[in-house]
Structure 1
Amino acid sequence: MIHYQISCKNPNSQFIQIRLVLSLTQENPVVLQLPAWRAGRYQLANYAQNIRGFRIQDEKGNHIPFEKITKDRWIFESLHAGKYQIDYEYWAGKMDAGSAWADDEQVYVNLVNCCFEVFGKSEEEVSLTLDLPQFPMQISTLNPAGSSRWEAKNFQMLADSTVLAAKNLTHWEYAAGATQFHIWVHGEIHFDENLFIDRFRAFSQRLIRDFGEFPESVYHFIFQLLPYPHYHGVEHRRGTVITFGPAESLNDSDQMEELLGISCHELYHAWNVCRIRPAELLPYDFSKETYTKTGLILEGVTTYMGDLYLLKSGVYDLATYLKHFEKIISRESANFGWKNYTILESSFDLWLDGYIQGIPDRKVNIYTRGALLAFCLDILLLKHANSLAEVMRNMWKDFGKPFVGYEFKDFETAIFGSFPDQEEIRSFFSDFVFGYQDLYPTLNALLSEIGIELEGTLGEDWLLHQLGIRTSPEGVVLQLHPEAKAISVLMKNDRIVNWPVEKNLQSDLLELQIDRNGRFIELSLEKENGDFFLVYRLNLKEINPLTEKWKA
């Protein structure tokens, strides 16, 4: 068995001390690989930059030489059989749902950040001990094995797990199906406990009902409720970590809806991603980029279903659901990346620029674009006596439960089988999944099928809506509509000096004074009465039989 121990001599330094003990039976090169990324975020994190003081010694205390052969891979020679001790420090100085944090109140670690995969021993059992007596409240998504001790059956399980040791933790629990759900809260609580648990039980039960079972017998919701604005969640097989703030804002219903939304989203991942996983990600290779084109399924379906199950379970009413779906529609409407990159291409390039703004209109957002595509697929399926929920239940049976990887074509096959005449669904995939067509006319038509009107309106910002110029409150050009005349005159990051710009009805030209990278220039922009960057509203016109099927 491989042994890890985590301690923290000085929490204020934010360095944790980690000891890895290996029992080696023969003389061999030993390769230690630190993960370069984590599950759920397809971007190199380069955790090795947080390591210092790396040392190796044998059981007699002799120092063992080692060599670093890549940015996150070490190698040493085991000169004889016996135990070898690897000591190092890790900087736990980033608070989000996928990182590590230490301070005077807690030590919180996502183990993928700082634990090595030992080549040749990846399937060996691992034990983890916390030597943190100053933080007596200790939890983990690993299997408990005694006081301050947990075990993982292999490295993949270790890397999928979280530990939290704190001076104070709030603990609630509830049962749904055959699973015991634990809620752990670090931080201030400004909401009603019983209502919170009832809502979690409701969406958990509904998800379990539709999938038929929950993948695990125990599941942990770990909340870091922070005193400053924050919003992040990361999925694990046996739990999720969610960071949210400010904590006191959760006495507001809108903020609580956001927390419920991310919680249901992450719980959906317990099936979709944690178990229903594309072949290229099974198992995870954390040493390098692993490319996938399945972002539509991984995050698009999950984003759509996460909110939909709050409606299906009665946690949201229809008006609340539509309010949140409006936000997705509005965010996606401001992005014209669909003209240049499909969702499959954008998924493949997550490693390149998936989590940054990037250059204008290069790619689509797999979360928002994917959610709109998932909604459209759901309505198309419902019209043919099926649903996206049923498709995902079948994906669970065929791939998630046996834990075998799927190909994108398997998702297509699961959908296409519901259509006697496949021309409509094949055209949809050709235009919007593999192609570069505008989704909004089709989205509008499918919303109308369930009695909902998609209304595009113009707001008071005439520069934005009539001229296609999105600006900051200080007059800096943030975005230009690709079909607006302004794109031939202005540049992104131009600062409008004569700000705010007054609307002169007597002239067909708009005179602008511009600071362009330190150069002062005067420009004349021809006015136009465009309808750019519409503000979208969802209006419920009727509840028809298809509406009832969709939200039931």
Structure 2
Amino acid sequence: MTTIAYSISASNPNAHQFTVTIDIPAHQHSELTLSLPSWLPGSYMIRDFAKNIITFNASAHQQQIEFRKTDKQTWLLTTNGEAVSVEYDIYAFDLSVRTAFLDNQRGFFNGSSTFLEVKELAEHSCSLQIIKPEGLSNWKVATGLPRENGTDIYQFGDYIADNYQHLIDCPVELGDFDVIEFSVANVPHYLVFAGRHFGDRERLKNDLSKLCQHHIDLFGEAPFTEYWFITNLLAEGFGGLEHKNSTVLVASRFDLPNPNKPKELTDNYKTFLSLCSHEYFHAWNVCRIKPEEFVPYDLSKEVHTEQLWAYEGFTSYYDDFSLFRAGIIEFKEYLTILSKTMTRVYRGAGELKQSVSESSFDTWTKFYKQGPDAVNNIVSYYTKGSLIALWLDLTIRQYSNGKFSLDNMMRTLWLNHGKTGVGTNEQHFIDIANQLCSCDISTQFIQLLHTANRVPVKQLLAKVGIAFEHTPYKKLNSFESDKNSEYKPYLGAFYQQTPAGLKVTIVENNSPAEHAGLSVDDIIIAVDNLKANEKSLQSLLNHIPENKLIDCHIFRDDKLLNLQLKIVCAPKLAVQLDVADDELVNNWQTII
């Protein structure tokens, strides 16, 4: 089978332009269809990557050939079976994990936003030549693509892919990046940092090694021969996207551990490790174990599945739990993280309006294109899915008398679906759960997936020694819980500090903010005739008597409005989890 030869060069870094060429060998087709995906796996929204193609040319024997564009992302070439060369320029100026970026400091690209697929030859092998930019001698290459023709690790040169899907599943970082190398289960791992950082390299290596080892032990094997954490460090940023042997991360440079404080474990560092844990777990769960609707992927249009509660939800359960199981955080710290997750689910009315299967199916619009009503009208298949994972873990442990756990379900899914490439459906999860429980839990399981009801974990947690309590928020603009019985004012609006005032980001249903008429994007400038900022508003409302009406001055667009705000005592919307029985807790902590 012939190979399709791609090449890419940073042709104009200052204009943020890559140039891509595709040399297609002689074939048996009178016409060829070249198309760019509309979306990429793991990010369920139509992205229309083809909008960034600036120029397009096709030739044979150094003569232009006939082509026409048939839709927003597809070109049809008249080739008469001859070898063809295609060249196009891509505008690359997106700092997210999804697309491509290029300036004179670094370059990055996801193949799904960069390389056109030759539809008729999609299963042919692909080569990729990454051309070194002129005048940037210190730049290197980081990618999970296999190297060939003597190209060494980090070098510009020749890379190879089994087919087009393999080509676009291996993102590429270019630049003068820092790398931390470590080995887990005899598999080389590379932690790449694009951007200046001050992180404790040895601590990062040790902590990530523990997390990776935990996940490999859980599934029983590593499904890759090398793994890359490609991380773009910014002043502020957060995000991740999974691939089969790599992940692309965005983080703040100060999320990393401070070498001057070797014992400090900040919330930001825990969040970074959780992100790494989440994306690494995806190497098994969604990159290989995947819904039947994704086998194979159709990247030209929306592909709906009701199963993302298992793929993002289960992964979200393990990402934080694994920090404890790997010995990085204490169990009390894990309970604090889990409490916050539960609070995010319980705080809004959306959980009681949309099921997780509906949330998954509608991810293309309602989840990835969230409006200001999101907290009140939809539920996240990430967070509620993680509670379903918790429910399953504790339920399986209970019915099997501690013989099995959710770990066993993940291993079964790996053997039956991940290694075989057979996609899952809902019944597969139900059947495995019933088998592990040695009884039929189908009715409860199906209700959790298809009804907008709360996940009943309170009694299950009690059986493993965890006390579950609903409490008020600790303070305004916070989801932290506080069991202290003293009066706490409640606004029901969340906000960000801006130079103009407090910009409202969330208004909860049936809250003082909603009753007063506050809306998302309003700018609160004064409350009770005093200038409002995050600190002063908390102090003021702490001193206002319960149920008193006060003036709230806001800007809505450029219009000044005066609303009447009644402050009430905070309802119990947060969750507090505490260890009630150390001996029983072992029944949950035990790795099975």
TM-score by shorter chain over 0.5: yes
Shift of 1:40: 0.6
1:435: which partner in 2? 451
2:243: which partner in 1? 236
- Check whether the contact 1:272–1:298 (CA below 8 A) recurs between aligned residues: yes
1:120: which partner in 2? 120
- State whether structure 2 residue 138 is matched by structure 1 residue 162: no
- Check whether the contact 1:139–1:163 (CA below 8 A) recurs between aligned residues: yes
Aligned-residue RMSD, C-alpha: 2.6
2:309: which partner in 1? 296
2:349: which partner in 1? 336
Name the SS for the 1:4 alignment partner.
strand
Shift of 1:497: 6.3
Unaligned runs of 5+ in 1: none
**Distance 1:475-1:159 versus aligned 2 partners, 3 A rule:** closer
**Distance 1:104-1:486 versus aligned 2 partners, 3 A rule:** closer
**Distance 1:496-1:175 versus aligned 2 partners, 3 A rule:** closer
Name the SS for the 1:143 alignment partner.
coil
- Check whether the contact 2:58–2:65 (CA below 8 A) recurs between aligned residues: yes
1:327: which partner in 2? 340
- Check whether the contact 1:466–1:531 (CA below 8 A) recurs between aligned residues: no
- Deviations along 1:75-95, whole A, 9 cap, x unmatched? 11114x432111111112112
Decide which moves more: 70-79 or 541-550.
541-550
1:381 pairs, out of 382, 386, 396, with 396
- State whether structure 2 residue 140 is matched by structure 1 residue 140: no
- Check whether the contact 1:174–1:201 (CA below 8 A) recurs between aligned residues: yes
Query: If the length of structure 1 is used for normalisation, what is the TM-score?
Result: 0.91
Q: Which amino acid aligns with 2:406?
A: L
Unaligned runs of 5+ in 2: 152-156, 259-263, 479-487
2:485: which partner in 1? none
Decide which moves more: 114-123 or 522-531.
522-531
Shift of 1:309: 1.8
Distance in 1 separating the partners of 2:112 and 2:331:
39
Shift of 1:368: 1.2
Name the SS for the 2:343 alignment partner.
helix
Shift of 1:44: 0.8
Distance in 2 separating the partners of 1:190 and 1:526:
47
2:433: which partner in 1? 415
2:205 pairs, out of 197, 208, 212, with 197
1:111: which partner in 2? 111
Shift of 1:476: 5.4
Distance in 1 separating the partners of 2:176 and 2:477:
52
Q: Which amino acid aligns with 1:70?
A: D
2:49 pairs, out of 34, 47, 50, with 47
Shift of 1:65: 2.4
**Distance 1:511-1:15 versus aligned 2 partners, 3 A rule:** same
Distance in 1 separating the partners of 2:196 and 2:502:
38
Distance in 2 separating the partners of 1:422 and 1:149:
54
- State whether structure 2 residue 493 is matched by structure 1 residue 482: no
- State whether structure 2 residue 260 is matched by structure 1 residue 253: no
Distance in 2 separating the partners of 1:349 and 1:429:
18
- Check whether the contact 1:108–1:164 (CA below 8 A) recurs between aligned residues: yes
1:276: which partner in 2? 289
Name the SS for the 2:63 alignment partner.
coil
Shift of 1:416: 2.1
2:102: which partner in 1? 102
Name the SS for the 2:399 alignment partner.
coil
**Distance 1:482-1:30 versus aligned 2 partners, 3 A rule:** same
1:351: which partner in 2? 364
- State whether structure 2 residue 391 is matched by structure 1 residue 364: no
- Check whether the contact 1:140–1:150 (CA below 8 A) recurs between aligned residues: no
Distance in 1 separating the partners of 2:315 and 2:174:
30
Shift of 1:282: 1.3
Query: If the length of structure 2 is used for normalisation, what is the TM-score?
Result: 0.85
1:531 pairs, out of 561, 567, 571, with 571
Shift of 1:383: 1.0
Decide which moves more: 32-41 or 9-18.
9-18
Distance in 1 separating the partners of 2:108 and 2:544:
59
- Check whether the contact 2:25–2:82 (CA below 8 A) recurs between aligned residues: yes
2:581: which partner in 1? 542
Distance in 1 separating the partners of 2:146 and 2:324:
33
- Check whether the contact 2:397–2:405 (CA below 8 A) recurs between aligned residues: yes
Name the SS for the 1:3 alignment partner.
strand
Q: Which amino acid aligns with 2:380?
A: N
- Check whether the contact 2:256–2:272 (CA below 8 A) recurs between aligned residues: no
- Check whether the contact 1:189–1:248 (CA below 8 A) recurs between aligned residues: no
Distance in 1 separating the partners of 2:552 and 2:585:
54
**Distance 1:527-1:110 versus aligned 2 partners, 3 A rule:** closer
**Distance 1:164-1:476 versus aligned 2 partners, 3 A rule:** closer
- Check whether the contact 1:342–1:435 (CA below 8 A) recurs between aligned residues: yes
- Check whether the contact 1:300–1:373 (CA below 8 A) recurs between aligned residues: yes
